[in-house]
């Protein structure tokens, strides 16, 4: 008999935000650190917008993502 344990690999959005802030504030432009931080923020915003768009009380102007 095997045991199955679900693993949630969805990131903590607070942790992603903290990493993005750190990269933007302390990132080395030569290594694209600041741009990576900005990319994380944009990705997080897009994902949160997708989640909001699926909610029944989402206003029409927010439901039109993409």
**Could you give the 3-state DSSP secondary structure of residue 65?**
coil
d(CA 22, CA 10): 20
The model's confidence at residue 65, banded by pLDDT at 50, 70 and 90, is low
d(CA 45, CA 30): 25
Going from N- to C-terminal start, the domains of the chain cover 13-63
What pLDDT digit, counting tens, does each position of 24-62 carry?
888 777 778 888 888 888 888 888 888 888 888 888 887
Number of residues in the chain: 66
pLDDT at 66 over 60: no
What pLDDT digit, counting tens, does each position of 1-24 carry?
678 887 766 667 788 888 888 888
């Amino acid at each position: 008999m095997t045991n199955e344990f679900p693993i949630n690999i969805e990131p903590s959005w607070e942790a992603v935000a903290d990493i993005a802030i750190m990269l933007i504030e302390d990132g080395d432009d030569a290594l694209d650190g600041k741009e990576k931080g900005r990319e994380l923020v944009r990705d997080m915003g897009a994902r949160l917008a997708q989640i909001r768009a699926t909610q029944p009380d989402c206003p029409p102007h927010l439901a039109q993502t993409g």
